[in-house]
Amino acid sequence: MTAGAPETTRFRAYGPRHIDTIADRYGLPDEVRETVRRISLVLPFRVNSYVLDQLIDWDDVPGDPMFQLTFPQRGMLTGDDEDRLGKLSADPADRLLLREAVTDIRGRLNPHPSGQQQLNVPVQDGEAIPGLQHKYRETVLYFPGQGQTCHAYCTYCFRWAQFIGDADLRFAAPDPSGLLDHLRAHPEVHDVLVTGGDPMVMSTDRLRTHLEPLLDVATVRTIRIGTKSVAYWPQRFVTDADADDALRLFEQVVDSGRQLAVMAHFSHPRELATDLSQQALRRIRATGAVVYCQAPLIAHVNDDAETWSRLWRAELAAGAVPYYQFVERDTGPHAYFKVPLARAAEIFADAYRTLPGLARTVRGPVMSATPGKVVVDGVEETPEGAFFRLRMLQARQPSLVGRPFRARYSATAAWLDELELDPATPADLAAAVRGGTASRTEGSPA
Ligand code: SF4
């Protein structure tokens, strides 16, 4: 891996405006630079010095998985759309037309995976509570307003529209008052997932204003923080000016008798291979927090069993818990990243077989769909043909949790709504699955 610039420990984000600087510094070919410039007109693009200097292998660009993970790529939009953007952006007189083209293309990328706004947002006195989702009985998702960005953006992010100024989609709570009211009215909620974006982009002082009030709610027993900061900016826990304060805040949560779960998002084993990420994990674990790891299975980034085997082993070696392998959902450049369920199940099974027992905590491939989390347990051959074995790991309706069901095997289906259910599926399960497969809801945060 080559480092093109001296490492800095001060966080600085680079976006579309810096593409020429990045291209000159790291020797990006002209056509790659142009692709990034065009596609980042539509999809969010953000990196930082750590991602550029320590994660991307510039000798392997554009195929490098870390480059694919963070830089817009040819093929994420149709050739026609890319050409259109190229033509319109070349002439300043076409600025208005360019803006219209960007809006049109975004609209065709399913920016509002439905179900989240309609089904998950709790209502109080007839008003939606901003920055909350309550889908599963015992868990509430909380989106602190100041945490709705990330240290870098994943090209596959299913919350991409959150980062392009789309107020309609944006979940953001100005402060925790709505959350606290909701928790008091719902003592059955034991688990609050603080998510984003990435809550760890907030200063520790800001983060404290969101976390500390939760410690006064006796029914909250677990606080989860969804974050990719250990992968994208481990300095947050090691060298940032308020890194130690963040760790003291974690200790405060643990000392209150609650479980603090850091839901870390690692997409590739390289993210765990730096000294900084290892130090960050050691320091987080020393607070008493437990680190759980999750990520989606993504073409061009991690779509092979060997990569997942190395990833889960690296997580275990670092004292973290492999937790979920998700299926990529249908939004943004889904056609570029999607992996058929049949292939995903093969990759999962091949990787799982290589693991030591302690890493077999991982579940996958999992679709976080409208009725709940559905895992593909494998394929079975029967006299009537081949079927996917499926199971509800989590469900909007608690009575469905843990229930197995089947669907006809398909070599190409990439989501639940593309599957044909076995006619013998119990009616309640079939109704939940058929009634809600058209949309995707929350899943791997940060
Ligand atoms: S919210 Fe998560 S998946 Fe999306 S860009 Fe941020 S870190 Fe990546």
Please give the Cα distance from 6 to 3 (Å, whole number): 7
Which of 47, 75, 107 represents a domain boundary (last residue)?
107
Q: Are residues 142 and 271 in the same domain?
A: yes
Percentage of the chain with pLDDT > 70? 93
Whether pLDDT at 442 is above 50: no
Residue closest to 140 by CA, chosen among 223, 206, 75: 223
Which of 107, 138, 166 represents a domain boundary (last residue)?
107
Is the minimum distance from the CB of 45 to ligand 1 under 6 angstroms? no
Q: What's the confidence (pLDDT) of residue 118?
A: 61
Atom of ligand 1 nearest to the CA of 195: 1
Whether pLDDT at 1 is above 60: no
Whether pLDDT at 3 is above 80: no
Q: Answer whether residue 419 is part of any domain.
A: yes
Confidence of residue 170 (pLDDT cuts 50, 70, 90): confident
User: Could you tell me the distance, in angstroms and rounded to a whole number, from the CA of residue 19 to the centre of ligand 1?
Assistant: 20
Whether pLDDT at 443 is above 50: no
How many structural domains compose the chain?
Answer: 2
Residue 210 near residue 194, CB atoms below 8 Å: yes
Q: Are residues 102 and 128 in the same domain?
A: no
Is the minimum distance from the CB of 436 to ligand 1 under 6 angstroms? no
Answer with the residue of higher pLDDT: 112 or 405. 405
Q: Answer whether residue 372 is part of any domain.
A: yes
Residue 391 near residue 404, CB atoms below 8 Å: yes
Q: Are residues 44 and 131 in the same domain?
A: no
Residues in the chain: 446
Q: Are residues 211 and 129 in the same domain?
A: yes
Which of 76, 107, 138 represents a domain boundary (last residue)?
107
Residue 361 near residue 322, CB atoms below 8 Å: yes
Confidence of residue 168 (pLDDT cuts 50, 70, 90): low
Is the minimum distance from the CB of 271 to ligand 1 under 6 angstroms? no
Whole-prediction pTM: 0.93
Q: Which CATH number belongs to the domain containing residue 360 in this structure? A: 3.20.20.70
Q: If you average pLDDT over residues 365-370, what whole number do you get? A: 93
Q: Tell me which residue range forms the domain holding 339.
A: 116-436
Is the minimum distance from the CB of 197 to ligand 1 under 6 angstroms? yes
Q: Answer whether residue 8 is part of any domain.
A: no
Q: Answer whether residue 214 is part of any domain.
A: yes
Q: What are phi and psi of 393, to 5 degrees?
A: -80, -35
407 Cβ partners below 8 Å, 6+ apart? 387, 388, 390, 419, 420, 421, 422
The tokens for 9 are 């420990």
Q: Answer whether residue 187 is part of any domain.
A: yes
Q: Are residues 98 and 178 in the same domain?
A: no
Q: What's the confidence (pLDDT) of residue 115?
A: 57
Q: Are residues 69 and 197 in the same domain?
A: no
